[in-house]
Structure 1
Amino acid sequence: AEKRQTKITEDLENVRQKYCLDFSKDIRKASEASKWKEESFMHIIISFCFLLRTVFSRSVSINRFSVLQIFNDPVHGYIELHPLLVQMIDTPQFQRLRYIKQLGTKYLVYPGATHTRFEHSIGVAHLARCLLKTLHENQPELNITKQDSLCVQIAALCHDMGHGPFSHLFDGMFIPEVQPGNIYVVLLKHERASVDMFRCMRKKNGLDKEMERYGLNLPEDIQLFKVNIFSFLQWSMKGRTEDKSFLYEIVANKVNGIDVDKWDYLVRDCYYLGIPCGFDSQRLLKSARVCNVNERKHICFRDKVADNIYGMFHTRYTLHRQALQHKIGYIIDDALVLADDKLSPDRKISDAIDDMLEYTKLTGQRNWVHICYTQMQIWLKPEAFCRTLSTDGCQSLWERPD
């Protein structure tokens, strides 16, 4: 990011030197040829060059601190992200999500289900920003600050950083099976790992200074981030006062389950699976308001979008029935559980949950997938899988022991 900003500064300075100074010389020659007063023209040129320099300098500052970067997403179209979020995306800890399949092993059953936690996380951050913008414009009395918005966007972006290979298979089935007595798994699952990974990302990439540069108060705002990540917690007087308790219902809504995380993964899963999506997330977003319910502020929706909300939960039901509970998917999941001690003679796959640097390297690619296929010979004919997967050394994976 620093190299990119330095390059922008150099380019703008080159433009200023080339055009401002050349333009000044041309005007001087014109003034001499026409016998006009040089002092008047030079005063104009100096003022003009100063103006351009000011504009260029401001453009660097704006690009560095204010301008949202645009990305093209197949689900949401053009989306805008805060530059601080872009810096977080460029870290190894977040780039790891490119290799964590959103639907776990289901891409081995459904050819289109190849999307990852990477694009899902970006989509959730985008929807969080849009929802906060809607609430701020329609209810300015909520006093949603730029820092509030940025904190929630960071939580939305990083909420899934703790997922292991094949997403919920890892923390929901694999780790509980191979480490049944691990308190880490019993209580916290991938949300705990997301907070640990976020801490590792900040430390290894020097992000604390960048966060402070954007006006964040780290001790307080980190609490807001953590509570947003732990979806099993409701507002707990950490990070913000009770009048902003609604901020904790944007990324993961414990009250009613209607949140931007669910909006993105339902629409995205339907898109890549080829299943019709039965609700409009944009309509829900535009109709959201903060209301006082039982002496606390909650995010609510108009009664006229009740059918749309029903469609959202029905879409989730449809996805589980038609795709997420496929029997072949369960067979693959069982094979992965048997692969824990097959990757390395001296270490198990599950050991990585205690070291975030090792966890960063743990994805759903290559070795573990091949081991998975090896285990599948217990249930299925190996020749069928060799036809399914074309990789170097595939035949050696199917050599049965005597």
Structure 2
Amino acid sequence: MKHLQDCQGDLGIDDRDILRVQIAGLCHDLGHGPFSHMFDRKFMPHVCPHKGFKHESASLKMFEHIMESIKSEIIMGEEDKKFIKELIKSENDPSIPKSSYEGQREEKSFLYDIVANKRNGIDVDKWDYFARDCHHLGIANNFDHMRCLKFARVCEVDNRKQICFRDKEVDNLYNMFYTRNSLHRRAYQHKVNNIIEIMIMEAFVKADPYIKIQGSKGKMSISESVEDMEAYTKLTDNMFHQILYSSEPELEEAREILQKVERRELYKFVGERLPGKAEDCTNLKTELVNDIFISIQIQLQKDDFIVDVIDLNYGMKDQDPINNVRFYRKLNPDMAIKITQGQVSLLLPTQFEEQIIRVYCKKTDENILEAAKESFEQWCQKHGCKPQQEPTIASAP
């Protein structure tokens, strides 16, 4: 914001604009539940599949809750609050009509590109966690966000102002999307991280009816608390230890799962493969578990197997996100242009999305695991699945 204010004074950016975008940046992830995406992508879809819970919506509710509790009308107008909420829920989504922009005038529509950018995924949210997570994981961050900031400029695109970048920054931006994919592959979606998340999710599911949290309308379960921000405020990572150290008989099953996590007695990894075709993932979990279950012919239940389908991409499914970015050239800084892959390098990826099929088994018996691996291998050969290279994490300095 300060860079654009200094370099393009005609944009009319004032200190209030900067403050509102700063507040949105601080508040846009307020709606995350315990263990972040485990809560909204695994737990909530499992216990409330029809609710369609998303942490962005919870962020809006939490922001409203905070504004009410501090009597914000004294220091902030309704237009300010409306604009901050629009920033949080990413109002620059191309699918949203222009008429929906109520909190901010059209001449400053580029402000919606900064905090959470639905158009192309280039936003400060990613830049923040790239720097932090790469540092703590010991993974190289090849993306230079400071250089990207230096060459950011607002241009008019399809009669709307949009943040664009210098044409020579295209390689740096590809590095940004590669870094995102690398973090997911080597850390966020690593097979050990995934099974720990699944086990914690299972424990939360079993504990959900018995954990009661005090909200504004009485006590409610973990899943019910997403509708009451007073209760949701109390829903933190501490839920793990509340279950782990509990003594109630109703929480015994949940407690045992978390004890296994603590002792590193994780569900066993059977194998992983890349599907031969995208359509192989249709009804994949049921089909795969049935095939393994039938093949093994050992005393097992279908619930003893976990099939996880992992999606890895550059942030826009199978699309190249750079197609949605606009650039400018040094000699004509006010004209926005597109840059195609062919103008960049022949070494760029030709595919921007892949899926990984992973199978875990809750049983630890070596004979059962060996039989499960053999059955999974047979299933993969039958469906033309390819081997998946083992991801590794570099040692932290």
Equivalent of 1:285 in 149, 154, 158: 149
Equivalent of 1:375 in 250, 257, 261: 257
After TM superposition, the score normalised by the length of structure 2 is 0.57
Cα deviations across residues 32-64 of structure 1 (Å, max 9, x unaligned)? xxxxxxxxxxxxxxxxxxxxxxxxxxxxxxxxx
Amino acid at match of 1:270: C
Structure 1 CA distance, aligned partners of 2:171 and 2:140? 16
After TM superposition, the score normalised by the length of structure 1 is 0.57
Cα deviations across residues 330-358 of structure 1 (Å, max 9, x unaligned)? 22222222223426366531111011011
Secondary structure of 1:275's match?
coil
Structure 2 CA distance, aligned partners of 1:362 and 1:331? 22
Secondary structure of 1:300's match?
strand
Q: Is the 8 A contact 1:373 1:385 kept in 2?
A: no
Secondary structure of 1:253's match?
coil
Number of equivalenced pairs: 243
Q: Is the 8 A contact 1:178 1:337 kept in 2?
A: no
Structure 2 CA distance, aligned partners of 1:194 and 1:208? 19
Could you tell me how far 1:280 is from its partner in structure 2? 0.8
In the alignment, does 2:205 pair up with 1:323?
A: no
Could you tell me how far 1:171 is from its partner in structure 2? 1.0
Could you tell me how far 1:224 is from its partner in structure 2? 1.0
Structure 1 CA distance, aligned partners of 2:255 and 2:151? 47
Which has the larger share of helix? 1
Structure 1 CA distance, aligned partners of 2:172 and 2:244? 39
Cα deviations across residues 220-251 of structure 1 (Å, max 9, x unaligned)? 12121111111365353211111111010010
Any residues of structure 2 matched to 1:202-217 within 5 Å, and which?
A: 202-209=67-74, 211-212=75-76
Could you tell me how far 1:204 is from its partner in structure 2? 1.4
2:61 maps to 196
1:155 maps to 24
1:227 maps to 86
Go from structure 1 to structure 2 and tell me whether the alpha carbon gap of 1:202 and 1:252 turns closer, same or farther (over 3 Å shift): same
Structure 2 CA distance, aligned partners of 1:383 and 1:320? 25
Q: Is the 8 A contact 1:341 1:348 kept in 2?
A: no
1:23 maps to none
Equivalent of 1:333 in 176, 185, 197: 197
Q: Is the 8 A contact 1:251 1:261 kept in 2?
A: yes
Secondary structure of 1:340's match?
helix
In the alignment, does 2:229 pair up with 1:356?
A: yes
Go from structure 1 to structure 2 and tell me whether the alpha carbon gap of 1:243 and 1:368 turns closer, same or farther (over 3 Å shift): farther
Go from structure 1 to structure 2 and tell me whether the alpha carbon gap of 1:369 and 1:321 turns closer, same or farther (over 3 Å shift): farther
Amino acid at match of 1:310: Y
Q: Is the 8 A contact 2:92 2:117 kept in 1?
A: no
Go from structure 1 to structure 2 and tell me whether the alpha carbon gap of 1:143 and 1:336 turns closer, same or farther (over 3 Å shift): same
Structure 1 CA distance, aligned partners of 2:173 and 2:235? 37
Cα deviations across residues 6-26 of structure 1 (Å, max 9, x unaligned)? xxxxxxxxxxxxxxxxxxxxx
Equivalent of 2:164 in 300, 320, 326: 300
Amino acid at match of 1:222: K
Structure 2 CA distance, aligned partners of 1:265 and 1:324? 12
Amino acid at match of 1:158: C
Amino acid at match of 2:108: K
Structure 1 CA distance, aligned partners of 2:37 and 2:262? 26
Q: Percent identity?
A: 47
Which has the larger share of strand? 2
Secondary structure of 1:349's match?
coil
Secondary structure of 1:361's match?
coil
